[in-house]
Each structure stands twice: as C-alpha cells, then as structure tokens.
Amino acid sequence: MIDLHCHILYGMDDGPRDFDTSLRLCYLAMENGIEKIVATSHLTSLVDIDHYVAARDERIAELRAELERRELNLQIYPGAEVFAGEDLMYPLPLEKVTINGSRYILVEFDFYNLRFSTVLRYIEEILKRGLVPIIAHPERYSFLQIQYDRVNFLMDMGVLFQVNAGSLASRSGREEFDLAYEMVLKQAANFIATDAHSLHNRPNDLLRMMRDFPPNINQNWLERMVRTSPQAVIDNEVVIPSMESGLLIRGRY
C-alpha cells in the first residue's frame, strides 16, 4: 500500500524528533503493508519554501540511504502538507512542494473560524497555477462538518480528498468519523492515508486501522484509495474519479 500523507521525517515539524523514531516508523509501516511513503511534513509559511525543500530533501536522502543499507524495501517520496493561507496569493513557487514533482499538491486549512468563501478563493488560486489540490483530512474541518454538501461543490471544481485512516477507524471524534465514513461510502474520498506523526500519536499502523473500518465499504474502492490513486499521483497521472455516477454527499445543516 501507499501512504500519501505521513510525517515520517524527523526535526521538520511536530512529527518524529529524531532519526531513530523516523526509522522505527518505517519498520511499523512495513509491518502494516505499506511499501511507499510520501514525506509530507508541515509547510506553514510559503515564504520558507526553499529552506523547507532543502531540509526535506536532506532528510529524505538520509533515510533512503539507511533503508538501502539495511536492505529494506520501502520507498520514500518528497511532498509537503502545505498550509493554505494568505501567502498563497503571492507568486511563490508552489511546484517545488508538490507530491514527487507532480501536478498534485496536498493542502490543509485552518480548522476553525474559516469562511468557506475563503477556502474557495485559495482553491481557485491553486487551480489557476495548473495544480490539483488534494485536501488533507477533510473530515476534520468545521466548514465541511456543518454542511456536507460543500464537498460536492469542491468535487465539481476538481478537488481531491485524502481521509485519515484513524478517522475511519473511530480513533478520532464522532464528527470526524461521520464525515469520513460518508465520503468513503459515497466514493467522494480519493485517498486514505495515515497522517502519522509518531509511534504513539497517530502511528502508521494502517492494516490495524483497516480492521476497524466499517465492513460495508466497497473493497474495490478501498483498494483504489490505498494503492491505485496514490500511485497515479506519484506518477503524475490522472486520478480516476468515482466508479459510480451521481454519488453525492448529503446535505447537513
């Protein structure tokens, strides 16, 4: 499987504090069927892109070298979890922090007190750059929790969605589970990833979490969310949308 959203690199953000923890997360990933990881450390300020990329690439090279030395079959790809704020409106080189140099960029937003109109403005700016936004953990945002059918609007714009496995496994709150479940059930979610930060706080034990997923999830779609679609992102190919037509998220007010 492919983990499209993982804070695997040490010393970059609120993820692992040291190299040993990064390596232990690699072992945990392999124990849980993960063969490829996209390193998506937080990028909170776009004016720091060059510094971020230099630090990220240095740590990826260090981790890849150690995995090769130990003959471990795990691939690490560059990415970022980009915080969408007002600096997004400046002509900064977003292409430097896409996933594996592709057209796809993983973005997150403020969790509270953010107008949906502001979200749309940020999304439109990303689309104008010729990039495809993947919204990280949409189930955690209040602007979607209060009105599910906003997901439909974003889908129509060309936005993709990455749901956290922990939300679907009921490791988060009820609101997170409800929206994650609805999106996966209606095939509005495109990816499931761990969003792992440490061995204890949101670990990347993906297989273990999948055992706690609701049993009525379409298994072909699940396979697409953890293998086919993330591979398409890594390869900069088209992510195929829902296999069904007319599957819309219900309104919630």
Residue 68 has pLDDT above 60, yes or no: yes
pLDDT at 112: 84
Indicate whether 31 belongs to any domain: yes
Tell me, yes or no, whether 33 lies in a domain.
Answer: yes
Of 88, 67, 8, give the one whose Cα is nearest residue 41.
8
Question: How many separate domains does the chain show?
Answer: 1
| Predicted local distance difference test score (pLDDT) of residue 61 | 98
Q: Exposed, middle or buried: residue 26 (CB in 10 Å: 0-12, 13-18, 19+)? A: buried
Q: Which helix (H) or strand (E) holds 3?
A: strand 2-6
Q: Is residue 94 assigned to a domain? A: yes
247 is a domain residue: no
Confidence of residue 245 (pLDDT cuts 50, 70, 90): very low
Residue ranges making up the domain that contains 105: 2-234
In a domain, residue 230? The reply is yes
What's the predicted TM-score (pTM) here? 0.95
Q: Nearest Cα to 171, choosing from 121, 146, 137, 142?
A: 137
pLDDT, residue 241, reads 79
The burial class, CB within 10 Å (0-12 / 13-18 / 19+), for 160 is buried
Considering only residues 240 and 75, tell me which one the structure prediction assigns the higher pLDDT. Answer: 75
Average pLDDT over residues 28-51: 97
pLDDT reading at 222 higher than 50: yes
CATH number of the domain within which 63 lies: 3.20.20.140
Asked whether residue 26 is domain-assigned, the answer is yes
Looking at residue 201, its pLDDT comes to: 84
For residue 53, is it within any domain?
yes
Instruction: Say how far apart CA 47 and CA 64 lie, in whole Å.
Output: 27
pLDDT for residue 252 is more than 60: no
pLDDT digits (tens, 9 = 90+) for 94-133: 999 999 999 999 999 999 889 999 999 999 999 999 999 9
Whether 136 is covered by a domain: the verdict is: yes
